Amino acid sequence: MYRFILNFLVHFFWARAQKRFDNHIYYSFQEERLNARKSYYFAIIVEALFPKYKNVKKEKIGVIGAGSFGTTIANLIAHNADVLLYAKYEDQVIKINESNTNRGYKINDRIRATGSIELIAEECDVIFPVVPSAGFRKAMQELSPYISPRHILIHCTKGLDADILSDPDLKFLAKESIHTMSEVIRQETTAIRVGCVSGPNLSREIMGGLPAATVIASEFEEVIEIGHSLLSNKNFFVFGSKELRGVEFAGAYKNIIALAGGILYGKKLGKNIEALLITRGLREMIHLGKAVGLHERAFLGTAGLGDLIATATSIDSRNFKFGIGIAEGKNSDAIIGSMDEVVEGVRTLRIAYLLANFYNINLPINNMLYKIIYEDFPADKAIQYLMSYPYSADVDFLSS
C-alpha cells in the first residue's frame, strides 16, 4: 500500500509540473531546455520521496542478461558487491554456479546465476538490464509484475525501440515512434529512477583487466552515484552525465558507423579513410541527434566519440565484424546467422535511415550503408560514391 501511494504521488506531481511548463513556456525551439527543466523538477520530487541508499555495496545487485556484455557488467559489479545474474537457459545457470565460467570467461565467485526473473526483483533493489534492443520491451513486460518504485534500473543496451519496424513497407519514422531503453522501462514498469551505462566498453578487453571507462547517465544524481560506486575499480573509470537520452542515442548511433568501419577494414583501405569515416560519421550522428532534439555535446564525450572510436576500429566489436563479412562478399543474413550474439547496428541503421527520410536530413554514409545491407548495393561502388560526394564544410554541426 505504501509503495502504491508513493507511486501515485510521484506521477501526480509530475503531471502537474508537465502541465505547468507546457502552458507557460514556448516549446518550438526550446524543446531541449524544457525537457531538461522538467527532468530537474521530476528528480527533485522523486529524490524527496525516496530515501537514498547508505551503502549500496552491502546490497545484492541484479543483472538481467548473461551474454558477453551482461557477464562483463556482472563481473565489474562483483568487485564491489554480490551479484545475482539472470540467465535464460538452465544449463547456463548450472555452468555458472558450478564452474564460475560463462561465455569462455572465468568470472568472480561473488556472482550467482538464476533462471528466475522474480527472484532478481525480490532480492535486488538495483538491477542492470543487459538485453538486446529488439527484445528489451518484452523483457521489461516480463519483469514488470515484480518491479515497484523502490527499484533502480540502470540498463546497458545500446539500441532503440521501434515496434513498427516489422512493417517492411515503412518509408518514414518520426521521433515519436522510437524510444530509448530508459523510456521503455518507464512505459512498461513502475520504476522511476532509471539510468544507462554507455561507453567504449569492449567485453574482451575489460574481462582481460585492461583499463577502460564508461558513462552512467541519469536525471538522478543518486543513480549516477550508485552506478559509480558499483562499477568503479582500479582499471575501470566511471563518468557521470545528466543527459540520459543523448547518451542513449549516441550509444545506439555509433554502431552504424562501426558497420562501415568493418567494411573499410575488410577492404584493406588503410587508416586515412578510417579517420575520415570517424569524423564524417560523427557529423552524421550529431545531425540526426539534433533532429530528435538532442544537443551535440552528448556525442562528443566518452559515450559518443569515445565509443565510436573503439567500436568502429576494433575486431572485438560485433558490428565491426559484421562489416568485415560484408567486405568479404557475404550475405547479411548469413553473417548474422554465424554470430552468437546480436549485431545492434543493423537494426539501428534502418531506424536512422527512416528517421532521416522523415526529417529530410542528408546522411550520405548512413544512406550508402542502408543500400549495401538492405538492398545489396556493391560496397566498392558505395565507397566510390562517398569519396566523390560534394561535402561543403568540414565542421558544420557545432552550435554557434
Active site residues: 254
Angle between helical axes of 221-231 and 68-77 (0-180°, round to 10): 90
Amino acid at 249: F
Give the β-pairing of 83-86 and 152-155: unpaired
Angle between helical axes of 344-359 and 244-266 (0-180°, round to 10): 110
User: Which residues, at least 6 apart from 340, have a Cβ–Cβ distance to it below 8 Å?
Assistant: none
CA distance 285 to 250: 7
Name the phi and psi angles at 313, rounded to 5: -130, 0
CA distance 251 to 397: 18
- State the SS3 of 103-116: CCEECCCCEEEECC
**Distance between first and last Cα of the chain:** 51
Longest dimension (CA), the chain: 65
CA distance 24 to 30: 12
How many other C-beta atoms lie within 10 A of the C-beta of residue 80?
16
CA distance 197 to 215: 6
Do 189 and 146 touch, CB atoms closer than 8 A?
no
Q: Which three cell numbers stand for residue 141?
A: 513486460
User: Which residues, at least 6 apart from 103, have a Cβ–Cβ distance to it below 8 Å?
Assistant: 66, 67, 68, 71
**Secondary structure percentages of the chain, helix, strand, coil, to 5:** 55, 10, 30
CA distance 307 to 11: 35
Q: Nearest-CA neighbor of 144 among 134, 129, 158?
A: 129
Name the phi and psi angles at 229, rounded to 5: -65, -40
Do 81 and 56 touch, CB atoms closer than 8 A?
yes
